[in-house]
Amino acid sequence: MPSMIAARLHAYGQPMTLDRIEVPQPRPSDVLIEVKACGVVPNLARVVSNFFGTLTPDNKMMPPLPAIFGLDPAGVVAQAGEQVLTVRPGDRVYVNPARSCGSCRMCRSGAPLDCPSFTLQGYFGRSQEIMRAYPYGGLAQFITAPVSALVKLPDNVSFAAAARFGYFGTAYSALRKLGAGPGRTLLINGISGQLGLNAALLALAMGATKILGTGRNVALLERVKKLAPERTEVLAVPEAPTLPSPASGGGKGGGADPLVGWAKQQTDGYGVDAVLDCLPPGAPATALLRALFCLRRGGHAVNVGAVLETLPINAFWMMTNRIGVAGSVWFTTAEGEDMAAMAGAGTLNLSVLEHRVSPLSKINEVLAGMNHRDGGFTNFVIDPTRVD
C-alpha cells in the first residue's frame, strides 16, 4: 500500500509528530485529494491543548487519537470514487470541512449547517461517527472527502489563498444573513483581525455602501482603511469599559459610549444597519454589547467571533427597538462556490493576504508563533508536500 506523511496528535497538550501512514482510499462517492496547502487558524493551538475537553470532560467533541488536524485544505484531486461524475483527477479544489449526517430533517431540507451531528473534518464536532468516517485533516499529504464538499478553484486563486477560505466563508455566510450590499451600512467589530479583515474584503465585493470598523491597533486599522478609503471608516477603541447602564440599551448606557456616538455620527444619527462581531473568545462581553448599541432601530447583528463571556443584554431594549441578534457558524459549499466566483472575477481581492508558508515539519513551531502576525493580513499556511 502507498504511504504518506501526516502530522498526528497522540495526546492533547503534546506536540504533533510526523508519522508515516497508509494513503486512504476513497469510498464510491468520495475523492482523494493531494493536499497542496492547509490554512492554520489561531484557534487550533487552543483545540489541540484540549480546550474542549475542559468544556466536555468526556471529550465527545474531539476526534479520537491519534488525530490528524487541519481545517482548510486545498489541493488537487488525485482519485475519484466510482460514483463521482463531474470531478476529475487534476482538478484544483478547496475542501469544505463541514460534515453533516445527510439524513436528518435539517439535512433533508437543505440546512446541513443545522444538523445535530454537524462536525468539522480535521477539527472537532458533534459526531464521533463522522470523525471516524473522515479522520484526515489537511495536515497530511492526502485526505479523503465527500465530492459534495469540493469547491473548484479558478486558475487565478492560489492554493495558499484558498487555504484562507474558512475565514472568508464564515464571514460570507454571516454577511449574507445581514443582507450586506448596496445601500447598507455595516459595522465590523474587530475589523483588522483574521475574521474581520476577510469580512471587510467581502463586504466591499458585495457592494456595501459604507463599512465602519473597530480595532485597537491604529496601524492595522489604517491599512484596512486604505483598501477602500472612500467607503471605509475606522476607529481605534481601547479595551471596552464598563458601560454606565447596559440594560438601558441605546439610552444613557449606549449613547454615552464613544463608539456609539461615532457610529451615529457616520450615519446621520440613525445608527448602522448591521453589525458583524468578529471579536475573539477572550474579548469581554461589553466590547460586543457596545457594538450592538450602534445599531439603528430595526438593525441586526450576527456574531461569528465567539466571545465566551455571558452577554448582559436587555430583552426589553431588543424588543422595543426591533433588534435582531444571531449566531452563525461556518458556511455551505454553495457559499464557497460564490466566493471562488468572486475571486475569479476579481471582485474579491485576495492579493492583500501575506502568505507565510511553512513545511509540514514546522507545524508545532507555527502553532507556537501565531501571535506574531500583522492582524488578519498574515495568512499562516502549511505545505504538506514539504516535510523538510
Q: How many CB atoms lie within 10 A of CB 24?
A: 17
What pLDDT is stored for residue 372 in this prediction?
87
Amino acid residing at 13: G
Whether residue 158 lies inside any domain: the answer is: yes
What pLDDT is stored for residue 251 in this prediction?
42
What pLDDT is stored for residue 60 in this prediction?
77
Site of grid cell 486604505: 226
8 Å CB contact between 327 and 307: no
What pLDDT is stored for residue 45 in this prediction?
87
Whether residue 335 lies inside any domain: the answer is: no
Site of grid cell 513545511: 359
200 shares its domain with 221? yes
Of 312, 327, 342, the one marking the end of a domain is 327
19 shares its domain with 116? yes
pTM over 0.85: yes
186 shares its domain with 157? no
What tens digit of pLDDT does each residue of 118-162 get? Answer: 999 999 999 999 999 999 999 999 999 999 999 999 999 999 999
CATH number for the domain that contains residue 366: 3.90.180.10
What pLDDT is stored for residue 255 in this prediction?
46
User: Residue 176, exposed/middle/buried by CB under 10 A (0-12, 13-18, 19+)?
Assistant: middle
175 shares its domain with 309? yes
25 shares its domain with 126? yes
What pLDDT is stored for residue 120 in this prediction?
96
Within 8 A by CB and 6+ apart from 275, the residues are: 186, 187, 188, 189, 291, 292, 294, 295, 299, 300, 301, 302
Tell me the three state secondary structure of residue 265. helix
193 shares its domain with 150? no
151 shares its domain with 278? no
207 shares its domain with 137? no
Domain range spanning residue 48? 3-164+353-383
Distance of CA 90 to the CA centre of its chain: 27
Say how many domains are in the chain.
Answer: 2
- Write out the E strands in the chain: 3-8, 17-22, 30-39, 72-80, 92-95, 98-99, 119-120, 142-146, 150-152, 185-189, 210-215, 232-236, 272-277, 295-303, 324-327, 354-359, 378-383
Within 8 A by CB and 6+ apart from 264, the residues are: 270, 271, 294
Within 8 A by CB and 6+ apart from 29, the residues are: 81, 83, 84, 146, 147, 148
CA distance 281 to 263: 24
276 shares its domain with 357? no
Among candidate residues 238, 263, 268, the one with its CA nearest the CA of residue 255: 263
The single-letter DSSP state of residue 345 is H
94 shares its domain with 184? no
* Residue ranges in the chain whose pLDDT is less than 50: 244-255
What tens digit of pLDDT does each residue of 150-182 get? Answer: 999 999 999 999 999 999 999 999 999 999 999
What pLDDT is stored for residue 253 in this prediction?
39
Whether residue 332 lies inside any domain: the answer is: no
CA distance 17 to 3: 16
174 shares its domain with 320? yes
Whether residue 333 lies inside any domain: the answer is: no
What pLDDT is stored for residue 47 in this prediction?
87
74 shares its domain with 95? yes
Whether residue 344 lies inside any domain: the answer is: no
